[in-house]
Structures are given as C-alpha cells and as structure tokens.
Amino acid sequence: MRFEHVHIESIAHALPEESTTSEELERELEPVYDRLGLSVGRLELMSGIRERRFWPEGTRPSEVAVRAARKLLSESGFDRERIGLLIHAAVSRDFMEPATASVVHGALGLSERCTAFDLSNACLGFVNAMTVVARSIESGAIEAGLVVAGEDGGPLVRETVRALVGNPETSRQDVKRAYASLTIASGAAACLLTRDDVAGSPRRLVGGIARAATEHVGLCQGDLVEGGHGPLMETDSEALMRAGNELAARTWSELLHELDWRPSDVDRVVTHQVGSAHRRLLLETLAIEPERDFPTVGELGNIGSVSLPLTYDVAERVGHLQPGQRVAWLGIGSGLHCCMLGTTT
C-alpha cells in the first residue's frame, strides 16, 4: 500500500482516571497463589506492567470513543461536516447490533452523508481501519475520515480473576494461560485522516503492509462465557510471542521495501504494547535501538486496538516525535495478523 494524498490531521486519546496495580490484582488472586505456591510480584516481573487503568463499570465503549473524538475535533478545529467515513475499530462494543459506530456518529452530530460502521480485528483493528479510510481518501471517494476506538478491558480482567479464584481445581497451567488476560487495560483513541488539499497538518500516512499467519489462530482466543459477567481468554503467551515475532520480521522487511526505506531511514517506531519481553524481542529481531521506541505498557498495560494510536499520541505530545521524522507503526494482533504503517511527522 502506498498513499500519495493522505494526511494524519489529528490524533487524540482518553484514559480512565483510576489505576490498578499488578500487585493489587495479584492480591485478589492470593487464595490461588497460596494454594499453588506462587508469589505476588510475578505478574509485574514477567510483563513489565506496573499498573493499568479501567473505566468505571457500566461505561460503554462508544462513550469513551466519543470523548477522544471530541477532544480531537476541538484541538484540530476541523469541520465535522467534511468527514465522510467513521469507523469504530475496537474489540469492545456497546452491543451486538447496531454498530457502535452508529452511537458515536449520532453523539458527534456527523453528517447523514458520513458512512459509519464497525471494524474489529483484535489489537490491529485501529490500524486496519486507518488503511480503509486512507484507501477511500486516495480513491477520491471522501476527503476526510475518522477512526475511533473505545476499549474496556475491565470485564475481561474481572471475569478472569473470578474464574481463577472460583475454581478449586485451578492449576499452574490455568494461571499461565490466563496471564495475558491480566495485562489487558482500558483507553480510547481517535485519528482523523484527510486528503492533502484540505489538510492542515504536515503529517502523512505514506503507506503500509499487512500480512497474516492464520495457522496460529488457536494461540489466543476469547469469548463470552455462559453465566459470566464478561469474556474469558486463553493464550499461549510464549508460542504467540514467537510466532508473532517471526511474522513481524517478515512484515518489517516488506514494509521497508514497499516504502523504499532503509532501516536507518526510520527515526522512530511505535509498537503494540503487550509486555516488556515482547518489546525486547521485537526490537532485537528488527535491529531497532530501544531509544527509537516509546514504551507505554509499564504504566498503561495492553489497551488492545488503542495501544498503537495512543502511544503515538503520547509520544508526540511529550516531544519524543519531532517534525520531519519518519515513524513506523508496528502492529501485531492475535489471529495471527501483522500490520505496519509508515508515517512522516
């Protein structure tokens, strides 16, 4: 994918106010830990996540997606009447139907000419949606499109704790397969893409590459459980990390070729925030110096599809990203899929 006329007009995010530490989560698991001889502190040690945030119970994904979008529109001053496409790209949704994007569309007061729908692909939904909007802009179908996502990891984490503590036969293997679920967090993000002739920002979406390795679809799967209050997810974290890293290595090489970039041309990267071990292995494999990356996982956890755009936004706001730089977005999601984007600031 190459884009000649697509600009990243604005990005914004929203976060819950209250944080929960890894130690606090493990204190809830103490009955299981005591029986299995596990010590509190292993979650932070293994993941590098000190804390994560959750929305108050009952918060709908659309509510926080709207919060991020309103912040974006306020900061950019872009005329919402010109937005021709809205995509809600989170794993979390308000309900089965209608599309959560419909709720966001109405709350933002977008035009009846603005198409709205949901797009979900685990942690890659947001960047996948960005490419859908970019193609629509590049084709001339629209002049601006908005991608939003509201992720709520609270129900998954609470249900995981309930399931582990409530089962007297919970084993070490059960805890291990639930480990990834305890890294999940909450947040929201919004990104406005515009055609170059209406753009007010120099940021460009230059192009991207998407690749799949669906032979690994069974390594991470989640669904609602009968009689539960939220979903449950089982993950083979080690196998998923290895397979994802191998797919990322192939995708990275193809991204550089597609954009005609050399590795040294990439000034900064933003990576999907899963855990410290994943980040370390990915950067080593791609031969990217750690200082080019901007980790947020230690304080914010894994926020699903929101992790990449939120990390980019925070990195830009604190000055890690500077005008004129080339920035690669490195996304990996269960399924197994990889999508990497090339942007300029």
Choose, from 4, 17, 97, 291, the residue flagged as catalytic.
Answer: 97
DSSP tag of 34: H
Measure the CA–CA gap between 126 and 116, rounded to whole angstroms: 14
161, 172 contact by CB (below 8 A)? no
Task: Copy the structure tokens of residue 340.
Answer: 């990497």
Choose, from 9, 63, 114, 123, the residue flagged as catalytic.
Answer: 123
The answer to whether 17 is a known catalytic residue is no
Measure the CA–CA gap between 269 and 82, rounded to whole angstroms: 31
- Residues whose CB is less than 8 angstroms from the CB of residue 259 and which lie 6 or more positions away in sequence, other chains included: 2, 206, 207, 342
122, 308 contact by CB (below 8 A)? no
The answer to whether 339 is a known catalytic residue is no
Q: How many CB atoms lie within 10 A of CB 63?
A: 18
Give the dihedral of Cα atoms 320, 327, 337, 86; nearest 10 deg: 90
Q: Which residues are catalytic?
A: 97, 123
